[in-house]
Structure 1
């Protein structure tokens, strides 16, 4: 039976993290991916501060620059960071799933080269998965790796690639088998992004500058030392990647914070809201805390090595629906101030808008909601 009572060391960690956020993150900070380059620099600087105190890669082994902490301390870290508009910025991928996957599948050379810089908050990664004709159907990818002496040449296109404009490395899926081989013909490559044969084209969107991109590979070089796992064995790695990715985002913590903030932010105007809106607010708050408990169940299973992919899919479905429910409730609460305000005094309204914009894309991020439901349904009827 899972005991949800928080250990003393977890509570101490929360207070320590909140003090660091209070000291280093401005009240007006709403994330790293804005038109203001200072926001990205704030995130990069804060990541390095966490790295220096071994708080960044909290659960990683100390030999890789981590803190050797428990998964529950890591969960608290995720919650505190997401509640504070993720002041680690674009470090999310390297920290939450690229690092753990490298620990599981990487050789000693790969681990020693890549893990300590991630743990120090010094290097950014992006994920080269989706393509114009291979999004939800990822095994349909066409980007190919051609064998040459000493390594591989990458040819193809990726799309919706978060953080590619700023990333130093890319965790790339490419085809090394025939198109017919699908899952059995995919390999993972660790690609150095600082090459003339790689072109990054930002995609304008309401998610903010620096966020999503197209990436073109026209013969980019990957030496043999940067092949992760075996040739044509990338799909089993992908399954782990998706599980780590789907439980690594504690967006319920931001939902809870914004909902709890609403009565204070509105002050006397809170009592004037329609009764039906008060009821929707209370229902959303209950849902956010239910999703937190579901997240804890998934963390406990992962901690014991018993994580079922269906559990990760169920959590992802729940937190996605929560995101959008909370976004709509909050937008109705703030009303006309919810969109477009740049008034620095109206921080709550700006935070609500930021949450609403991201919630619109949540049903397609990390696998569409339909694919999550399909994965869960297949598991429930006995398909693997």
Structure 2
């Protein structure tokens, strides 16, 4: 059963990441939001420190001793829990900067879970201290966001590989990524069964970044539109190889690869939402203590609102920990991942809204809570809207062993 007491290692990671968020991320958060980018020199510095996004459990290509392998295996059993604990602290500092950290990012989980040994070595070993590098994950299209089964990017089989044509939007770090996991269909008439996942490397002819989006929130993080025009992808870049998609009831399509990725990433997104809500809550508590007379009516009304916010944050965190724990112990967690993502996203938006209302003019005009309010809106949209999370949850209540979105 899941324990609510953090292990010594988990406490150490939490404290270390919180220190980093407080001393390295939070001081540059407002300026990065204003400029719409994270300073390159800062990214160089954190990369040399070995701080990467979502790569803590990736072994890369280094050789390990038997003792190191045992330690690694033990830590990987807590990998998802460690990730949500660390992510909450990073997002407390600034979610946009957390998403901008060098590393495999959202592209890491599908390569780690579905890639061949050669692909894992080739694509995950590039994240070293010599220079910042990024990976990315490209599923969303102009006409296929929440309905991931409706993607229109095509992959035509040719000698030696595939030719991709299509467009992807809202791709985190997509413009600067060294490689992008791209989902395309070999035959739209096959539906989900026709989908495949490819790793497309930067500089591939026919692959381009056409635009970086200007956004209401998460301004410091790069969000790209990608275009594929007769883009040839070699056979060895088909994620998992042909064997992964061979005709069999036990073999996944690219659609299942994408959905399996969500089981890992939705708790991460939930943890980020929790970090944002906690940051707004703590900031508001401090200001209320300073600005409101303790015996006044407004103080007690604010205290009641903030107490409810704390309860909601706590509940969302426990749901997220459960989803991460189930992944760590090898249990199916699609329903729990959907629940925690839906609950945390809505909770964080509600908490930030209440905090902004409590602060009034104090919270506006360049203050942290106003920024967090803009940042948090997307957390009930990306990685599947809240409506999609409700659909995932409902379907698994009635047919828990079938494969759905």
Give the TM interval when normalised to the shorter protein. Answer: 0.7 to 0.9
- Tell me the SS of whatever aligns to 1:3: coil
How far residue 266 of structure 1 moved from its aligned partner, in angstroms, is 4.3
Q: Is residue 342–residue 390 contact of structure 2 (8 Å, CA) maintained in 1?
A: yes
The answer to whether 1:113 aligns with 2:133 is no
**1:370 and 1:64, CA in 2 relative to 1: closer, same or farther beyond 3 A?**
farther
Match of 2:250 in 1: none
Q: Distance in 1 between matches of 2:31 and 2:328?
A: 29
1:349-364 aligned within 5 A: 349=367, 351-364=368-381
Q: Is residue 126–residue 162 contact of structure 1 (8 Å, CA) maintained in 2?
A: yes
Q: Is residue 154–residue 221 contact of structure 1 (8 Å, CA) maintained in 2?
A: yes
**1:263 and 1:19, CA in 2 relative to 1: closer, same or farther beyond 3 A?**
closer
Q: Is residue 64–residue 115 contact of structure 1 (8 Å, CA) maintained in 2?
A: no
Match of 2:12 in 1: 12
Q: Is residue 256–residue 289 contact of structure 1 (8 Å, CA) maintained in 2?
A: no
Match of 1:142 in 2: 152
How far residue 172 of structure 1 moved from its aligned partner, in angstroms, is 0.3
Deviations 1:110-148 (A, max 9, x none): 111111223658321222211111111111111111222
Q: Is residue 57–residue 119 contact of structure 1 (8 Å, CA) maintained in 2?
A: no
The answer to whether 1:79 aligns with 2:88 is yes
**1:360 and 1:22, CA in 2 relative to 1: closer, same or farther beyond 3 A?**
closer
- Tell me the SS of whatever aligns to 1:157: strand
Aligned length: 372
How far residue 333 of structure 1 moved from its aligned partner, in angstroms, is 2.2
- Tell me the SS of whatever aligns to 1:353: helix
RMSD over equivalenced CA pairs, Å: 2.8
Q: Distance in 2 between matches of 1:138 and 1:114?
A: 24
Match of 1:346 in 2: none
The answer to whether 1:376 aligns with 2:386 is no
User: Which residue of the other structure, out of 189, 194, 205, is the alignment partner of 1:180?
Assistant: 189
- Consecutive unaligned residues in structure 2, runs of 5 or more: 246-252
**1:329 and 1:105, CA in 2 relative to 1: closer, same or farther beyond 3 A?**
same
The answer to whether 1:239 aligns with 2:239 is no
How far residue 242 of structure 1 moved from its aligned partner, in angstroms, is 1.1
How far residue 105 of structure 1 moved from its aligned partner, in angstroms, is 1.6
How far residue 319 of structure 1 moved from its aligned partner, in angstroms, is 0.6
Q: Is residue 288–residue 299 contact of structure 2 (8 Å, CA) maintained in 1?
A: no
How far residue 181 of structure 1 moved from its aligned partner, in angstroms, is 0.9
Match of 2:215 in 1: 205
Deviations 1:41-77 (A, max 9, x none): 42453244134xx997333347569983333443432
Once the two structures are overlaid, the 10-residue window that deviates more, 71-80 or 222-231, is: 71-80
Q: Distance in 2 between matches of 1:117 and 1:289?
A: 37
Q: Distance in 2 between matches of 1:328 and 1:285?
A: 14
Q: Distance in 2 between matches of 1:275 and 1:374?
A: 39
Deviations 1:356-379 (A, max 9, x none): 112222222111111110110111
How far residue 28 of structure 1 moved from its aligned partner, in angstroms, is 3.8
The answer to whether 1:263 aligns with 2:288 is no
User: Which residue of the other structure, out of 331, 350, 356, is the alignment partner of 1:325?
Assistant: 350
TM-score (norm. length: structure 1): 0.86
Q: Is residue 17–residue 89 contact of structure 2 (8 Å, CA) maintained in 1?
A: yes
- Tell me the SS of whatever aligns to 1:167: coil
Q: Distance in 2 between matches of 1:286 and 1:77?
A: 21
User: Which residue of the other structure, out of 328, 334, 338, is the alignment partner of 1:309?
Assistant: 334
Once the two structures are overlaid, the 10-residue window that deviates more, 258-267 or 318-327, is: 258-267
Q: Distance in 1 between matches of 2:98 and 2:221?
A: 15
Q: Distance in 1 between matches of 2:34 and 2:321?
A: 31
Once the two structures are overlaid, the 10-residue window that deviates more, 306-315 or 71-80, is: 71-80
Q: Distance in 2 between matches of 1:22 and 1:281?
A: 22
